[in-house]
Structure formats: structure tokens, C-alpha cells
Amino acid sequence: MNDKAEAVSARTRSSRLAKPSPETIKRLKSHLGVLSTTALKYLDQSLPWYRSLEPEERAALGLVAQKGIATFVNWYEHPESTPAWVMTDVFGAAPTELTRSISLQKALALLRTIVEVVESQVPDIVAESEQGQLREAVLRYSREVAFAAADVYARAAETRGAWDSRLEAHVVDAVLHGESQDSLSSRIAAIGWKSQQNIRIMVGTTPASPPVNFVSALRRVAVRFGRDSLIGILGDRAILMLSDTRFEDTDLSRFVKLFGPGPVVYSPLAPTVKEMHYGAAAAMAGYSAAAGWPEAEQPVAADDLLPERVVNGDPLAADALYERVYQPLQQASNALTETLASYLALGHSLEGTARELFVHANTVRYRMKRVSEVTGWDPLVPRDAFVLQTALLVGRLREARG
């Protein structure tokens, strides 16, 4: 054995507690009841939060205190034993739910109080020659129990985190599948979602980085712009749902860099939880059809991808174009639909449309302006003209089907 190993071995031997006398162990065991009673009284007097607990919670903590004192005596009798038993012996009888109502800070305050009680009783229990040894044993034991408590709370936090992630995934799935309002409301409330208005859904590519890192980074940014957030990972697609959004569409670019390479599509604002499904469906359909418009700026609105969504077989997009473009044009004036159709068919020529309809070119310009006012899409802009042309196609086909 080299000098370093010998030094470590010497320190280990010197750090071991001397074996207590049988008389000391006997007196400790005979004082277990007194120590437990004194500890519980002291907890009630010195910790205000302990007095405010429910009866079953106080009973559980009292059991932890009693087990802690009894386990200390067993450990002090056999100091050569390993500390691995501390977690099972001391905390095994406490319900797991206790970690929800009692914070780690409060648990450590409770352990500190118990240590103080035991130390205060040392002069009445053992002879003066062994009091220093007993106090040292109490300090070492309290260290092991503190580490065990931290481990218990860490495990509980991991379990809750895994459960919350699964519950969050179920809620996202329920939104995508249009689950009933009552069921969806109860699911959302279970994960702490409080908002009921202005809900935005974003869909992008899941990055190659570990999902845990991606979700935490996305949530950190999300809390700046929304009151509540939900995040779901569906294979190569990542879904973000925000409520009470407080930002304009141009600020959505902050989220783009967090997603993986590929399109990022956002839905129109859903006014209530009830309309979340339609927003999510629009965003998902837009993401599926985004490859049809690779030049689109990112992020892109699902409503800006209506033509691609129609071609991709999305019935919601066809309904939107029919209700928001074709029908308003028909109701405004038949001349608007006729003029728009001629303008699009003649290669976007104002003069050619004027000759075709036997009207002045300024009349065509006025009617194109009216089309823009009625629909929100400007036929003089190439991309908007494509949307309008798709709307005309959808409207004509529906009318042909009666």
C-alpha cells in the first residue's frame, strides 16, 4: 500500500465513531418515547406552518420524526453499517403526496428541529464521558438524513415531471383530435392552464437536439409572450400552444430559431378554448402544405397557405376561401367576380380586361380596389392574385355541384 492510500485509510479509521457502551444504548432505547414526545411538542411550538397542516399530514410528519429518532438509535448501536437504509427507514412510511404539501426547505427545518431536541436531551441520557461522542453521532446522522430527504424530493420531482409531460402530451393530442369541450377543459385545468382566450398554435420541425433541451428552451421563450403554454412532440413535428398572447405576428420570428430546419406555421388566434381545435388543425394542415411555397418567409401564417392547403386536400382551407372570398365577392356585386375572373384569365392586364368588358381601364382599377377591400387580398399583388384565383376555382366547383 502506498503512502497516499495509507493516509486515506488512517483518516477513514479516525473518522469512525467509537462503539457506544451497552449502558448508553440501553438508556437511549428507554428514552425513545420521551424524545419522540418532546420532538413533536417542539415542532408544534417552533414551526408555525406545522400547526397549519391537515391532521393526516401532521400525523405523517410525526411518524417521520419518530422513525428518524428510532433509526438513529439503531444506527448508533451499529455505526459500522452503511447509510443506505436511511431513505427506506425514515421516509418509507411517509406518503409520496407529502412532498407536494411540504417543501424541501420545510422538511429540512423539521429535521433540524429534531436534531436540536435530541442534542438538548443528551445531558439527561448519557454520562458526561460519552456526551461529545453522542453529539458527533447526531450531527453525522442528521447529515445522512438531510441527503436522504433531498434524494426523496428529487425523485418525487422527476416523477411529477414525467407525469406532467405525459399529461401535457395527452392534452395536445386531445386538442388536435377535437375532443369535446367538457373533457378538454378538465384536461387543460389538470395541468394548470388558466387562460381561456387568444390562443395561438405553432407547428414546426422537431430539432435534432435532445427533446428535453428543446422543450425547456421553447418554454423559456413562450412565457415572455403568453400566460400559459403547452408543448407536444409528435415525431418530427413540434407543437406549441400559447394563450393570452401579447405579441404581433412579426414577433413570432423569435420562435423560429428554436425549431429544427423547415417551415414554421402559426394559426390564426383562437378566441376561446373551444376553437383551439380549428386553430391547431389549420396550423397542422399549413405545415403539411408548406413545401408548396418554399419562398414563404418564416414563420408563415396558416391562412397565407390556403391555396397550398386546398391542393393538399384540406377541406377547412376550401371552406375558408369559399366563405371569406367567393361568397363576399358574389354578395358585393356580380361585376366584381366577372372583372376579377377576366383580369386573372388575361394575364393580369388592366387594359386587356377593360377591352374584354367594354369598360374604361379606371373602372377595372376601381373594381380591383373593391375586390381588395371586400376580401383582404389585393389582385394586383401576384401572391394575392393566386389566392383569389384559387377561391374562384373553389367557388365555381361548389356551385357546379349545386
More confident: 155 or 106: 106
Please give the pLDDT value at position 185. Answer: 65
Beta strands in 142-290 (DSSP E): 197-205, 228-234, 237-243, 265-266, 270-272
Please give the pLDDT value at position 70. Answer: 79
Neighbouring CB atoms inside 10 A of 162's CB total 10
Length reported for the chain? 402
- Domains for the chain: give ranges and CATH numbers: 3-159 (1.10.490), 195-303 (3.30.70.2730), 315-400 (1.10.10.2840)
Please give the pLDDT value at position 34. Answer: 81
334-345 vs 382-400: helix crossing angle, rounded to 10:
120
More confident: 305 or 91: 305
Which of the four pLDDT bands, split at 50, 70 and 90, describes residue 184? low
Nearest to 306 by CA among 294, 298, 318, 291: 318
Has residue 6 got a pLDDT over 50? no
Q: Tell me how far apart the alpha carbons of residues 391 and 329 are, in angstroms, rounded to a whole number.
A: 10
Has residue 14 got a pLDDT over 50? no
More confident: 300 or 213: 300
